[in-house]
């Protein structure tokens, strides 16, 4: 014999579902807030890393420029020495 749920049992069942939904909503909201904080932190870190990357790129450019300047000066000195001793310059250029 099948007995149907009474009105009070149906209401109690609905009430349980509502409270579970409320708890799930609270949990999801907390997770969302945590993820938003984490995202903001990662964005700040990314900004700092991009700034550091730009700084390092500028530093590399300066170093490359200095290297080229030094290379030109060394070549000029070797050319000046070549006038005095051509054999010494050939050894130095190797």
Largest CA distance in the chain: 120
**pLDDT tens digits, 25-81:** 999 999 999 999 999 999 999 999 999 999 999 999 999 999 999 999 999 998 888
The structure's pTM equals: 0.58
Residue 1 lies in a domain: no
- Of the two residues 90 and 35, the one the predictor is more confident about is 35
Residue 77 lies in a domain: yes
Residue 31 lies in a domain: yes
Residue 2 lies in a domain: no
Residue 29 lies in a domain: yes
Domain count for the chain: 1
Contact in structure between 65 and 72 (CB atoms under 8 Å): no
Residue 79 lies in a domain: yes
**pLDDT tens digits, 69-88:** 999 999 999 888 888 877 76
Q: Which domain covers residue 72, as residue numbers?
A: 7-93
Alpha-carbon distance of 25 to 5, in angstroms, equals 28
Alpha-carbon distance of 73 to 94, in angstroms, equals 17
């Amino acid at each position: 014999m099948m007995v149907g749920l009474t009105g009070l049992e149906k209401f109690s069942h609905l009430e349980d579902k509502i409270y579970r939904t409320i708890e799930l909503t609270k949990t999801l909201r907390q997770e969302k807030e945590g993820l938003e904080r984490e995202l903001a932190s990662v964005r700040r870190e990314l900004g700092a890393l991009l700034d550091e990357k730009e700084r390092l790129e500028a530093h590399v450019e300066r170093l490359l420029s200095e290297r080229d300047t030094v290379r030109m000066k060394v070549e000029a000195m070797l050319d000046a020495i070549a006038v005095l001793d051509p054999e010494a310059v050939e050894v130095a250029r190797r």
